[in-house]
Structure formats: structure tokens, C-alpha cells
Structure 1
Amino acid sequence: MTIMCPDCQAELEPQNGVAHCDNCHKDIQLEARCSDCHKPLQVLKACGAVDYFCQNGHGLISKKRVEFVRVDD
């Protein structure tokens, strides 16, 4: 899944729940969702690591499988 800037359509890289557009100088809030059930994931942070946990029975979700969706303001 590709995250695009809503203003300039540049491709963005999600990092820690935010995608930053260098062209527009904007931060876009993102929500991590489970790739199996598409429900919001619990973000677990410890010792510099970020993990994603699905509370709907899918357990830990790999960062590669997390779907990031834009949070509408």
C-alpha cells in the first residue's frame, strides 16, 4: 500500500504513525491497521523497537504487513 500526499501526490514513507512530505512540508497522521482484519493495531514501543499487535486474534503483525491508512482530520 502506497501513501500519497493529498496535496502534491508525492509518495510518502510511513514512520512511527506519521508520513512527512518534503515537498509540502506537512506531516500526515497515519493509523496502523491489521492486514488480515483491517482493524486498528495496538502500537507497542519498548527499547527503541516498535511492534504492532492485533487485539482481534491475529497476534503480532510484522511491520511489512501493517497497512497504514491516513487519519482524516
Structure 2
Amino acid sequence: MSENRCPDCQDELSWKDGQYYCDACQHPVRKRAFCPDCDSELEKLQACGSASYFCNSCNELKSKSRVRVVFEKA
């Protein structure tokens, strides 16, 4: 089951034109990740099919399992 849910209606989000989209609410949704230690927004690094998160404030990589993810209207 997907964890990508609309912040308004909790329907599962679809992927359209390079962004998340809620078909029920008819609006794009932005996915943001925050550091579990300092709460700064993280930078997503993608290479060779895997994704990692880097915190510029802590200056270190963060485990995907610890990252706080927020979906909000774009």
C-alpha cells in the first residue's frame, strides 16, 4: 500500500507530468522531506536508481526511514 496520500482527502496520489497529483481534489501536491534531527528541509540525491537525503544544516546523509515526509498543495 502506498504512503503517498493527499493532505486534504487522504486519497492515494497519482504521478502526472513530473509531480504528484490528487485526482479526487484536482490539484497538484508537493512532497517535502525534513531532517529528523534539526527539522531543516532535506535535499534529495538520486543516483544509480537509489535515493538518499542530505541535510545541509547537519552536513550529513540521513536515513530514508528516519526522514519526516510531508505532502502539501503545490
Confirm or deny a common fold (TM above 0.5): yes
Q: Any residues of structure 2 matched to 1:1-73 within 5 Å, and which?
A: 4-10=5-11, 24=24, 27-57=28-58, 59-73=60-74
By how many angstroms is 1:69 displaced? 1.8
Structure number with greater Rg is: 2
Letter paired with 2:40: K
TM-score (norm 2): 0.63
2:16 matched to which residue of 1?
Answer: none
Count the aligned residue pairs.
66
Q: Which residue identity lines up with residue 32 of structure 1 in the other structure? A: A
Percent identity of paired positions between Structure 1 and Structure 2: 39
Name the aligned partner's letter for residue 35 of structure 2. C
* 1:14-58 Cα shifts (integer Å, max 9, x gaps): xxxx6665x727652111110111111111110011000111125
Structure 2: give runs of 5+ residues left out of the alignment.
14-18
Q: CA deviation at 1:7?
A: 3.5
- SS at 1:65 equivalent: coil
Task: Report deviation, 1:8.
Answer: 2.2
Cα deviation, residue 11, structure 1: 7.0
Question: 2:55, 2:61 within 8 Å by CA — same for their partners in 1?
Answer: yes
Distance 1:46 1:3 in 2: 22
